Amino acid sequence: MTPPSASPPAVAPVPREADTTPDAPRPTCAPQPSPEGRWRVDGRSLAHGGIKRFPRGVTYGPFPANAAGEPFPEPAAVAADFALMRRFGIDAIRTYWLPPPWLLDLAADAGVAVLADVPWGKHLCFLDSRAGRTGARRAVREAAEACRGFPSMLAYSIGNEIPSDIVRWHGADRVAAFLATLADTARQADPGALVTYANFPPTEYLELPFLDFTTFNVYLHDLATFRRYLLRLQNLAGDLPLVLGELGIDTLRHGEEAQAEFLRGHLREATLLGIAGAFVFSWTDLWHTGGHLVEDWAFGVTRADRSPKASCAALESLAGARPAGLLATRPRVSVVVCAYNGGRTLAQCLDSLERLDYPDYEVILVDDGSTDDTAAIAARFPDVRLVRHAKNAGLSASRNAGLRAATGGIVAYTDADCFADPDWLSHLVHRLESTGADAVGGPNLTPDDGRLAACINASPGQPTHVLESDQVAEHVPGCNMAFRREALDAINGFDSQFLRAGDDVDVCWRLQQAGRWITFAPGAVVWHHRRQTPRSYLRQQAGYGEAEALLRFKHPEKFNGRGGWKWRGVLYGASLRGLHLREALVYRGTFGTGFFQCLYQPPAAHWAMIPASLEWHIAAAFAAVNTLVWRPAGWIALVMLALSAVVALLQAAQARLPARHGGVGARAVVAALSYAQPLVRSFAHYRTRLSSYRAIEAHPVERRVRRRWGWWHGLDITDWWAERDGDRTRLVADAVGHLRAEGWGLTLDTGWSDWDVEVFGHPWTRLRITTVQEEHGSGRRLVRLRSRLGFTWVAWTALAAAAVSIALAGAWSPAAAGALATATLAATLLIRGRGARLAAQIADAFDEAARELDFVPCPDGGRGRQR
């Protein structure tokens, strides 16, 4: 252990605790365990006595040995330290040696929580030595047994900063697995205790989901850099609380006033970002390690004689501060809850919103035609404004109704099956106001609703956020999002065609297309009850599939040719996101010396998910049918279905399930849901997309339908002469309005296509329309419209399948092959004829729009002939 250099960098290393030595103090016996007054995890926060708490602590020691040989001051000095800490708002300490029982008793009397590091030989290649592994497990077990039952114990830290070259030597997976055994050892010795590990930037890639909360030691002096790194750490922590195990600055090199300003700014930012707790390094300048005092640094908030530095006043000013009290501005916020038959969870939702810690907000409940006890529950909350729809109008209409009723400059949305953290609004507002973004979202965590709900949460397709970076979101889920009102108004709110889902995705994409941006607040937490049964889960996924189909019409550039999402960002959350068949990469720096060693997760192997798709199963069914004409096709079908089952089993193996809800049975449930989910979701997607293609009978066209024989060979051109207001873009916009009013399925060019509008008459054909305008001076123009009729991918797939069947049949029965070929030709001609008639109806919509604009049709404009 070496002290810092005389000129520390912006990221200053500090001395670490002494490692276990043969003459280290042995833990003594503890009283019987007591479950009362223990610390608990509450979402991304810590709680004590059922109350959310933000431990504001300092590191304590090591010190020169006292009369009993313990690396702590004498009991009277410790009691005086605790009294001084409480005076300055410090309510927790972190020790690098196991605290003796008398210290834990004094801490309980003073109301000081203790985070105790368990020292063991982590600076050695411990996994290469059986004695090293055994010694570490013994140290953790004895520590937990010794401290069990003391109400002042916050948590055990099973390790502190295993050197990055040691982790590199053993491998991250092996180190993580060993730390998991240490965590289990601690919990077995002290059931119900909280367990953490103090990590640091050189090994930030360690994935430790078995911890109760994540602890990181961070020394970043620049406030903006510190803020960015905290956002990164919160995303790395996932659903776990994040505690800062160490932060500080040396007063010998920077001065006491700079230390005070540093702590004031950094702790304020940590609180506003939703960090679960923080420990300042350190309590005093008196610091003893390696058998001697360290005298060339002064990180303490008090001097060696315990006289306070300016930092103590800074800490006192933040004592008990809540995020709402630290906000620079507190604009009025309207919280909108949309409910349709959500009585089961609505009371919990509204109760949590009444308890929000924010000075100026209102709650608006939009009852979207509920038939359950939603209205009766709302009546129990007189401060909640109720907006009622006589009948169910859909999710987007309800959110727009809430927007119209809102009086706040910021409009926040959550769902009736959610309940919010007390500081939810404060964290959302802080990110909006500090970044200047137009929208913000936060994570939605899963409450413990039992084993089946945990399995559903781990299955594919759960709502989550998509981040382009640690500060920029591509999508935030509808259960946890907030907008500047003027931003929503500028894009005309939510699109009412989205009845059950998809409205949040659409509004995020439209905001970005309008040049606005969305940020993310990792501390703004809501708990979201997942579906409670497989049936309700699959119904939810069907709703998402329907929404995807509508989104694909409106935002075709966001989907690939098969209809899958094309997210720019990374999807977060516990839900399965495809299969990962490659190991993550770690950038360690030259010879493993990088201070920030980052984990780069390879993208999911989406190609490996092909056997899970609906299209794959349709192909398997096609192969099974062809068994009638070619017997080996049956084996092909069986192999294809076996591969589908293998993919589902691999997904279940990679699913992240809580340890208390794990096991083979839970994995089997996840495998079954993983198998069914893409089939149900894709079927709903295609059903919605195909039902959007209106059949001929569904178009009660009053105007005369003229046949356009030109479409039999795929092309028609129409010309109009215009001398008044109006141009080709106005013509397209008006015609699209007519077509949408009649229910046609269509896609508009978003800048990447060589056509203006793609209109679908039925599942088999589509018409692509392109316009051009010739300027002839003095406001005169020739507007030209070119229509190309073609088959959809559905038709091409069917034709390819028919061709394969004809080829197979030809090898066994030429007569059957001839019959199939004849039927295929007849069906193709029928489809083309229907498509031509539908194309004529579509063209009539453009004719009508042209008449309304006073465009004059040109008789020799080229109808029915190519140019």
What pLDDT, in 10s, does the model give residues 465-511? 888 888 899 989 999 999 999 999 999 999 988 888 889 999 999 99
The helices-and-strands tally (H runs, E runs) of the chain is 24, 34
Q: Which two tokens stand for residue 313?
A: 């006043």
- The length of the chain in residues reads 867
Place of tokens 């990110």: 431
Per-residue model confidence (pLDDT) at position 586: 63
* Signed CA dihedral, 121, 125, 131, 134: sign only: positive
What are the residue ranges of helices labelled H in 148-255? 164-170, 172-189, 223-237, 251-254
Per-residue model confidence (pLDDT) at position 796: 85
- Residue 563 pLDDT level (bands cut at 50, 70, 90): low
C-beta of residue 463 within 8 angstroms of C-beta of residue 528: yes
Q: What is the pairing mode between strands 384-389 and 410-415?
A: unpaired
Task: Report d(CA 527, CA 421) in Å as an integer.
Answer: 8
What mean pLDDT value characterizes the chain? 85
C-beta of residue 332 within 8 angstroms of C-beta of residue 355: no
Average the pLDDT over 149-173 and give the result.
93
Residue from 111, 102, 91, 116 nearest 152 by CA: 111
Average the pLDDT over 142-165 and give the result.
94
Which residues, 6+ apart, have CB-to-CB distance to 436 below 8 Å? none
C-beta of residue 115 within 8 angstroms of C-beta of residue 94: yes
C-beta of residue 500 within 8 angstroms of C-beta of residue 543: yes
* Signed CA dihedral, 687, 688, 694, 700: sign only: positive
Question: Which of 255-264, 390-399, 533-542, 691-700 is predicted with the least confidence, judged by mean pLDDT?
Answer: 691-700
Rg (C-alpha) for the chain, rounded Å, is: 33
Higher-pLDDT residue of 470 and 351 is 351
Task: Report d(CA 394, CA 850) in Å as an integer.
Answer: 34
Task: Report d(CA 632, CA 623) in Å as an integer.
Answer: 9
pTM of the model: 0.80
- Residue 427 pLDDT level (bands cut at 50, 70, 90): very high
- Residue 633 pLDDT level (bands cut at 50, 70, 90): confident
Higher-pLDDT residue of 377 and 661 is 377
Element (H, E) at 214: strand 214-217
Per-residue model confidence (pLDDT) at position 709: 44
User: What DSSP character marks residue 710?
Assistant: G
Task: Report d(CA 629, CA 808) in Å as an integer.
Answer: 7
In tens, the pLDDT along 20-71 reads: 333 333 333 333 333 457 899 998 999 998 889 999 999 998 999 999 999 9
Phi–psi pair at 354, nearest 5 degrees: -70, -25
Which residues, 6+ apart, have CB-to-CB distance to 85 below 8 Å? 58, 91, 93, 110, 112, 283
Across 666-764, where does the E strand assignment appear?
Answer: 715-722, 745-748, 757-762
CB atoms within 10 A of CB 358: 22
Across 15-55, where does the E strand assignment appear?
Answer: 39-42, 45-48, 51-53
Average the pLDDT over 521-532 and give the result.
92
Per-residue model confidence (pLDDT) at position 545: 87
CB atoms within 10 A of CB 584: 12
C-beta of residue 458 within 8 angstroms of C-beta of residue 538: no
CA angle 530, 532, 533 (to 5 degrees): 130
